[in-house]
Chains A and B, each alone.
Chain A
């Protein structure tokens, strides 16, 4: 999964570079990038729901689920998001939508079946915290900034190259053509490597940001329900179930991991690297935070 996402991003960066080399105007490339961002930003709710086959449910269709969300929203003083159920047996939940008014909280039928009500409430509190923290907007913009950083570095490099060599290149054009072409090719190769490096760094940073925001949502969710223990229970239950499910079924969902309650991927080997790259903190890290919270709440009001 990791290589897939990494390569996809690399492909994107290479694609943009190739667009440059083919001679497309910078403005045009920027417009494409912005269109991608806007689509992602304004249709995140629909894209995520569609890909997970989530269906918005009315109060009549799922009174119990609505009642839990109603109460949590009243406690947190936030507008109620739409509620959706995805008919998938994989136990999971996700929140999407660019702001509080367009938010959707989706749970799978698998999680409804496996968790009891207080645990489900804890999971929903976690997802509502994502909505309150505006995580979809932040992550969309953050990943865009990563791509933009790569783009801009290249633009600067180009400007440096042609600004610096431009005069000399024109004057000595007839004389040293063969040598100049070779030099340019090496420089272009260097640029490609450089943009790949930039992308790699932003990839790591975005992952770090995502893990941080998961912990933040855990914390706010636990404080909202007042009982961190319940969220910990739900996490253990769901994670235990997740790793037992064959990887093949999960592959289709992996691209949307960033907003899931628990990521849909089997634990790989090489723990240190996978922790560095994953969108979610390890179960141990999340449980440790919740245990600490639980202890704090026991001590002081």
Chain B
């Protein structure tokens, strides 16, 4: 932060960084090989709705853009924190990443970059697939495995909620963090691995 900005009490709204989304296909292969996880085919784009008609127009524009794809479904959800989620379902992981990218760039092109919070990709164990090292040690069953992308940082972090209310499997998250370090830029500041309880993505 520049001295001048400090003196004037100014901060620039943080702009998102979307480039790192394309590191995900590599991460998909790693997860499948070493953790026995594969994409669920769902992803969510989380943003903070802002005032104004322009924003409403942007939201419908995104929906129009994405409805073109045949195997793609998108629906809107609001969470209890007042954030909105565009939940996208597409069985092709490559397409899913592209669609998440489209949603984000559309929002960004309309000046809503600062309103983007994160994108979340869902993963699930492959039935009868490669042994999950964590499961072999008798670790608790998890409610889902997610990769969260923080736009403003350009980093990912794993989020593994447990079925019990508001508990997360930190061991497995750390394991995922180490496993993915080669493929993705992981968020080094653990304080920023905030939980997303009750997120509308599977």
Q: Which residues of B contact A134 (CB under 8 A)?
A: 1, 6
State A129–B52 Cα separation when bound (angstroms). 22
User: In the bound complex, do residue A216 and residue B8 qualify as a contact, i.e. CB atoms below 8 Å apart?
Assistant: yes
> Is the CB of A180 closer than 8 A to any CB of chain B?
no
Tell whether, in the assembled complex, residue A76 and residue B14 are in contact, meaning their CB atoms are under 8 Å apart. yes
B9 touches A212 (CB 8 A): yes
Question: B75 at interface (Cβ–Cβ under 8 A)?
Answer: no
Contact B191 A226, beta carbon cutoff 8 Å = no
Asked if A75 meets B48 with Cβ closer than 8 Å, knowing A117-B81, A301-B112, the reply is: yes
Query: Which of the candidate stretches B64-72, B95-103, B113-121 sits at the interface with the other chain?
Result: B113-121
Contact of A213 among B9, B49, B112, B195 (CB under 8 A): B9
Query: Which of B52, B152, B194 lies in contact with A70, CB distance below 8 A?
Result: B194
Which residues of A in the span 117-175 have a Cβ within 8 Å of any Cβ on B?
117-118, 121, 129, 132-135, 137-138
A57-99 interface code vs B (CB 8 A; 1 in, 0 out): 0000001001110110111110110000000000000000000
Chain B residues in 8 Å Cβ range of A225: 48
Selected from B7, B51, B54, B152, the residue in CB contact (under 8 A) with A75 is B152
A197 at the interface (CB under 8 A from B): no
A118 to B11, CA, bound (A): 22
Q: Is A254 an interface residue (CB 8 A)?
A: no
Count how many pairs of residues, one from A and one from B, have CB atoms less than 8 Å apart in the complex.
104
A75 to B49, CA, bound (A): 12
- CB-CB contacts below 8 Å: A241-268 with B: none
Instruction: Flag whether A2 is at the interface (Cβ < 8 A).
Output: no
CB <8 Å contact, A71 and B83: yes
B55 pairs with A301, CB closer than 8 A? yes
A229 touches B51 (CB 8 A): yes
The answer to whether B54 and A300 have CB atoms under 8 Å apart is yes
| Chain A positions 187-203 with a Cβ under 8 Å from a chain B Cβ | none
| Contact in complex: A73, B192 (CB < 8 Å) | yes
C-alpha spacing A77/B112, complex, angstroms: 15
Among B9, B111, B197, the residue within 8 A (CB) of A216 is: B9
Q: How far is the CA of A138 from the CA of B166 in the complex (A)?
A: 39
A228 at the interface (CB under 8 A from B): yes
B73 part of interface (Cβ distance < 8 Å)? no
CA distance A71 to B53 in the complex (A): 24
| Chain A, Cβ-Cβ closest to B83 | A71
Nearest first, the 10 A-B pairs at minimum CB distance are A226-B50, A216-B9, A70-B194, A77-B152, A301-B111, A77-B14, A298-B52, A133-B9, A301-B54, A132-B11
- Residues on B lying within 8 angstroms of A by beta carbon are 1, 6-11, 13-14, 48-55, 58, 80-83, 110-112, 114-118, 150, 152-153, 166, 189, 191-192, 194-195, 197
